[in-house]
A and B are shown apart, each in its own frame.
Chain A
């Protein structure tokens, strides 16, 4: 039916797009804004490859209508680095080899980053649960959990 204007912030930048209301947030991010770091791996809101952060919450962008994000602040994997400096979680992933094919990695980073920003002295089980919504076929998850653990232990600071 009618398209409408969506105004929101992505990775700190203001965007204005003209979309059908049925457009998913994942589609706006990837196809309209060209930010292809965020991936899609299923049709059933299962795999989490599309995970982004909306107003501080990690969400699966394939199950959110973009229009619901009017006026909100979205962060994608591209927004984790600051002026070429990688975030603590990104550096922890590099040191721990917490990725292989890398397709699930952007979503993993978003879930992990959201988790460490609010978790206080999390247990190993809580760290595992933080990425429960993200499927990885390559790593077996343990290296990702090791990276999360290292960040929660303060081994990586913002540069």
Chain B
């Protein structure tokens, strides 16, 4: 049962930050697609609920060739999914959003809310980290920007402290020869991944690997970057053997937790397979890129 709470509806970002700082036992609601379930189960019962759904200043999608992509925190998943700009420049984001829950959830739930919720099985985390995203968050006193993979600290826990709001996701402009792919392993298309893998590959002019990123979903308390595998690929001429090797490393480095849907062994095994496949896909995309 959802507890009785005081409802706060700020009209602007400034007002929201001020209100948030004012109340100790206060949680933020925007789309509420994750929060309301948790509150209904009685796991969270805040005295105050701060609703930032209508803080329009945080709802935007901006792209600049040099600066890259900036998405405001209260932008809905559906807006990202339907953005022509994002489809052109970061098709992996559109693809990821298209498989996130269902249309109804995407219509109301927001990217900021998803990131703040910090579920290691969430889809955006691994993809954005593979895209080298940064996150801007702040409170009444100021703002901070950190790399997204440093933002997640533990299961459902981020670097944010009380009074902080997610403000913006910044995805840098991609390299010239760049590809990024993401896939989750699940039984039903709309489910969160039992495990998932995102991979991005940037190529040098000579076709060797400039940089690779491998980020695993639901393979630990936070999205997991497999730096050991990333280092293996750096500078090399990429081929299937290397992808398989990287997959093997990913499978060993992962920290998946077993549950009724799959054992730990199966999760490790599938992570290895997904890593191998997504690396190959990202590589092929990078080769095709202008």
Chain A positions within 8 Å of B, measured between CB atoms, are 1-2, 4, 20-22, 24, 43-45, 48, 51, 54, 57-60, 63-65, 67-68, 111, 114-115, 129-130, 132-134
Interface flag for B37 (CB, 8 Å)? yes
Residue interface mask B27-67, A partner, CB < 8 A = 1: 00100110011001000000001010110000000000000
Whether A133 contacts B102 in the complex (CB less than 8 A), given A58-B107, A59-B108, comes out as: yes
Inter-subunit contact A51/B51 (CB<8 Å)? no
With CB as the reference atom, state the residue of chain B lying closest to A61: B104
Chain B residues contacting A114 (CB-CB under 8 Å) are: 103
A2→B5 CA distance, assembly (Å)? 8
User: How far does the Cβ of A104 sit from chain B's closest Cβ, in whole Å?
Assistant: 13
Structural contact, B49 and A21, CB atoms closer than 8 A: yes
A20 to B, closest residue via Cβ: B4
B contacts, CB < 8 Å to A: 2-7, 9, 29, 32-33, 36-37, 40, 49, 51, 53-54, 78, 98, 101-105, 107-108, 189-190
Closest 5 CB pairs of A and B: A133-B102, A21-B7, A57-B107, A22-B2, A60-B104
Q: What residues of A have a CB within 8 angstroms of the CB of B105 in the complex?
A: 45, 60, 63, 133
Beta-carbon nearest neighbor of A21 in chain B: B7
Residue of B nearest to A50 (CB): B104
Give every chain A residue within 8 A of B5 (Cβ-Cβ).
1, 21-22
> How far does the Cβ of A116 sit from chain B's closest Cβ, in whole Å?
13
Tell me which residues across on chain A come within 8 A of B103, comparing CB atoms.
58, 111, 114-115, 129-130, 132-133
Contact between chains at A63 and B37 (CB < 8 Å): yes
Asked if residues A65 and B29 are in contact (CB atoms below 8 Å), the reply is yes
Kindly list chain A residues whose C-beta atoms are within 8 Å of the C-beta of B78.
Answer: 57
Assess whether A1 is in contact with B104, with CB atoms less than 8 Å apart.
Answer: no
- Residue on B nearest A48 in the bound complex, by CB: B104
Contact of A63 (CB < 8 Å), options: B6, B33, B189: B33
Name the residue among A2, A21, A44, A48 with the largest chain B CB count within 10 angstroms: A21
Give A24 to B104 CA distance when docked, in angstroms: 15
A122 to chain B, nearest CB (A): 12
A65 near B36 with CB under 8 A, answer yes
Contacts of B9 in A (CB 8 A): 67
Cβ of A59 and Cβ of B51 under 8 Å apart?
no
* B4/A1 in contact, CB under 8 A: yes
Q: In the complex, what residues of B have CB within 8 A of residue A44's CB?
A: 37
Residues on the A chain within 8 Å of B49, using CB: 21
Q: Given A58-B103, A132-B102, verify A63-B7 contact (CB < 8 Å).
A: no
Instruction: Report which of B40, B98, B104 forms a contact with A59, defined as CB distance below 8 A.
Output: B104
A67 contacts which chain B residues (CB < 8 A)?
Answer: 7, 9, 51
- Extra contacts, 5 of them, besides A21-B7, A64-B108, A68-B54 (Cβ < 8 A), are A43-B37, A48-B102, A65-B36, A67-B51, A134-B102
Cα distance A4–B5 when bound, in Å? 12
| Least CB distance, B55 to chain A, in whole angstroms | 12
In the complex, which residues of chain B have a beta carbon less than 8 angstroms from the beta carbon of A22?
A: 2-5
Distance in angstroms from A154 CB to nearest chain B CB is 22
CB-CB under 8 A from A111, the residues of chain B are 103-104
Alpha-carbon separation in the docked complex, A2 to B3 (Å): 12
Q: Which residue of A lies closest to B49 (CB)?
A: A21
A57 closest partner in B (C-beta): B107
Chain A: CB-nearest residue to B189: A132
A20 to B49 CA separation, bound complex (whole angstroms) = 13
Instruction: Please name all residues of chain B whose beta carbon is closer than 8 Å to the beta carbon of A129 when the two chains form the complex.
Output: 98, 103, 189
